[in-house]
Amino acid sequence: MCGIVGYIGKRQASPILLDGLRRLEYRGYDSAGLALWSDGGINVFRKAGRIENLRKAVNEISPFGDLGISHTRWATHGAPTDENAHPHLDQSGKLALVHNGVIENYQILKDQLKQDGHEFHSETDTEVLAHLAGTFYDASDEADLKTRLVKSVQEALSRVKGTFGVAVMHADVPGVIVGARLGSPLVVGLGKDEQFLASDVAAIVAHTRDVIYLNDYDLVTLTRQGYEVASLDSQRTARVQVSKVDFTEDDAEKGAFEHFMLKEIYEQPQSIRNALRGRLNRDECTAVLGGLNMSPMELRQIDRIIFSGCGTAYHAAMVGEYLIESLARIPTEIEFASEFRYRNVPTDKNTLQFVVSQSGETIDTLAALREAKRKGLRCLGIVNNVASTIARESDGGVYIHAGPEIGVAATKTFTSQVAIMTLLSMLFGRIHHLSSTDGLEMIDELEAIPEKIESILKQAPLIKSIAEKYAHAEGMLFMGRQINYPVAMEGALKMKEISYIYASGHPSAELKHGIIALVKPELPSVFIAPDDAVYDKNVSNIEEVRARKGPVIAVTTEGTHDIERITDDVIYVPRCKSILSPLLTVIPLQLLSYYVALARGCDVDKPRNLAKSVTVE
């Protein structure tokens, strides 16, 4: 949640900060603000709403300043207002601070500060942190002002309970920005006589490809000439590694597409090719996943697998459960990452845990990883961000190589995650009992998937017309069976995320166990019913909906035209091996939700109340 951008150098800071915030707006768009150092003072601009509101306010004055920090907010404490927007100042008005995360003990600290005469102007926990840091700065007798600022930030953060990614500047300390993280990502960008600080590398990739991904408890001090990284924890040693960003500025732009979501839907043929590239071994009829850091003997000893994830990642993991149990016959379970650490899940030494997260920074999934490792489990990550916290803390894993995903509603990362699940199921299957013939058939089928997705994308005009037909429905039911039940869940999630239509996903057979009470002419049902072993069962469920005058949209396999007589609308997908059908059946649902949202006038890339990366609990 939320986005941070900081700059110190020789150029005007405000255009760099505003452009960085624009690139991070998917992380939060309730309000935005920036602080600039100029002529011995700090100028603060804060506006509720989108970043464009802030841009207009800044451009009216065109303030000078070559050092600044900025923030785009997803509200936790306090409503989206000018007063609650970051940056926040301390009591003296000289220290400015932006913050991602949650300070859990802020009310206790606030009450103490009020007793000492502090006045607060917002409802946020962040303003309390700014006042606390300012108090330590003012009380210090340290002669060196840079050291004084660093120590005041250290002291303040040692008093708080919660998570944070912060950037701090002080009017009396020109040429210095201090940043620190615990549970909320921060990355340092390195330039020539200029440095950058951001919560996501997408904000600064236009200016530098050389970055340092900070670890938890890292504290960084930035000057024009360079950086220093220390540890907030005296028991830890800060480890610094300069990395190269593996995508370009253009990768994080919409290009010719109206929305990032649509661009990312159309990128799926290539993103799946990227996920598969170099990982299919025809000679051995299996998948190659060296990043697992496990030998064939170690993999063979695994007799139970647990997947943990949230939202779309959870749905991808559900598909993975079907795949691994079908191809490898290994018992597999799915856990909501947000619940895992609060449960006492029985495990043994032959249990393998996977955590699934696009960003690799999802706070609940990171907590599940740490809980699994605390219990002595081998824990592997499936992530899109090579330098993420999950990637660094896991024992190994697989990168999905989908490229940056900016749209809040995940699309290409879902199919890429499912592609990785398929590779895992092939690998485990071949280690156990999957024949070389079946393994080679899976490779052939997988390699054909991208071209088949391209053929589905050509049906966008048809899907758009269906979406416009149902755009003002009061809700939608999504139903599927077996491996397409998770697809129904994912389709419902996409619909409610960006169109605000109430939608729910269910196993088709559960229809008669209560869900059918919702069926009526005003509530369409979407059935994922490919031509597989349970096709006839799905048809029977569709008949039950039609008997009660419920409209039906079907997603089915090319050639099954008999379904047209019992449905109102049909979207066809190419024929494929049934176990791979989720890679195809989800595409029409992504487009359907996109065009419904468009018809309803919703902001597709920035749906209300949502942000891309959930880094607060």
- Residues noted as catalytic: 2, 612
Rounded to 5, what percent of the chain is helix, strand, coil?
A: 40, 25, 35
Tally of helices (H runs) and strands (E runs) in the chain: 18, 26
Provide the strand spans (E) within 317-390: 332-336, 351-357, 378-383
Two tokens at 154? 């250290």
Stretch (H or E) spanning 45: strand 41-48
DSSP string, 199-266: SSGGGTTTT-SEEEEPPTTEEEEEETTEEEEEESSTT------EEE-SS-TGGGS-TTSSSHHHHHHH
Two tokens at 21? 């915030």
Closest CA to 368 of 318, 418, 309: 309
Q: Which residues contact 488 (CB under 8 A, 6 or more apart)?
A: 478, 479, 480, 505, 506, 507, 508, 526, 528
* C-alpha to C-alpha distance for 480 and 526, rounded to whole angstroms: 9
Q: Which one-letter amino acid corresponds to residue 271?
A: S
Stretch (H or E) spanning 120: none
Two tokens at 546? 């039609």
Closest CA to 253 of 616, 605, 612: 605
* C-alpha to C-alpha distance for 187 and 199, rounded to whole angstroms: 6
